[in-house]
Amino acid sequence: MADDCLFCKILAGEVPSSEVHSTGGTYAFRDINPQAPTHVLVIPRRHIANAGDLGAGDGGVLAEMITTAQAVAASEGIAESGYRLVFNVGDDAGNLVPHLHLHVLGGRPMGWPPG
Ligand code: AMP
Ligand code: ZN
């Protein structure tokens, strides 16, 4: 656990969250400020700052994050209608929380390119 990391505190149960799915290496919970009818965050249980810090040895946790996102999409009923998976990295992307998280967004049509 990283000091003063909000999502590490969520993993530790020190900050409440609304669980959607859980696996050995990942946890999925509802975004507190949803940008779509379904907006879930998938995080690794191991603290990684952001996707810019991932390396070739992180394939396992990344694959587990994707399969968790697939399970979220299925349970949320958006697997067929479609969904968007987003990693924000750094200031220009609006990255606020420095613990790796995969946004799962769906339940409405989303434009491209994003604003
Ligand atoms: P990012 O801008 O990619 O760093 O995304 C951080 C996300 O975390 C935002 O969409 C926030 O709404 C969300 N968020 C911040 N605090 C919480 C919280 N306590 N529980 C759930 N989601 C949160
Ligand atoms: Zn953390």
Q: Is 114 part of a structural domain of the chain?
A: no
31 lines ligand 1 (CB under 6 A): yes
- Ligand at minimal distance from the CA of 86 is 1
Which residues 6+ apart lie within 8 Å of 36 measured at CB? Answer: 105, 106, 107, 108, 110
92 lines ligand 1 (CB under 6 A): no
Q: Is 92 part of a structural domain of the chain?
A: yes
Q: Which range marks the domain in which residue 98 is found?
A: 6-106
Q: Is 71 part of a structural domain of the chain?
A: yes
Per-residue pLDDT, averaged over 90-115, amounts to: 95
* Distance (Å) from CA 58 to ligand 1 centroid: 23
Is 101 labeled as catalytic in the residue annotation?
yes
Q: How far apart are CA 13 and CA 16, in angstroms?
A: 6
Q: What is the pLDDT of residue 115?
A: 79
pTM: 0.98
Closest approach atom of ligand 1 to CA 35? 10
Per-residue pLDDT, averaged over 9-24, amounts to: 98
DSSP code at position 32: S
Number of domains in the chain: 1
Q: Is 10 part of a structural domain of the chain?
A: yes
Beta bridge partners of 104: 40, 85
Q: Is 111 part of a structural domain of the chain?
A: no
Q: Is 40 part of a structural domain of the chain?
A: yes
User: From atom 16 of ligand 1, which residue's Cα is the shortest distance away?
Assistant: 32
Quick check: bond before 113 cis, omega within 30? yes
Structure tokens, 53: 């810090």
Q: Is 96 part of a structural domain of the chain?
A: yes
33 lines ligand 1 (CB under 6 A): yes
Structure tokens, 32: 């507190």
- pLDDT tier, 79 (very low <50, low <70, confident <90, very high otherwise): very high
- Ligand at minimal distance from the CA of 1 is 2
Q: Could you give the count of Cα atoms lying within 13 Å of 109 in the half-sphere of its Cβ?
A: 2
Beta bridge partners of 22: 27
- pLDDT per position as a tens digit, 19-77: 999 999 999 999 999 999 999 999 999 999 999 999 999 999 999 999 999 999 999 99
CATH of the domain at 33: 3.30.428.10
Q: What is the pLDDT of residue 8?
A: 98
Q: Is 86 part of a structural domain of the chain?
A: yes
The residue type at 72: V
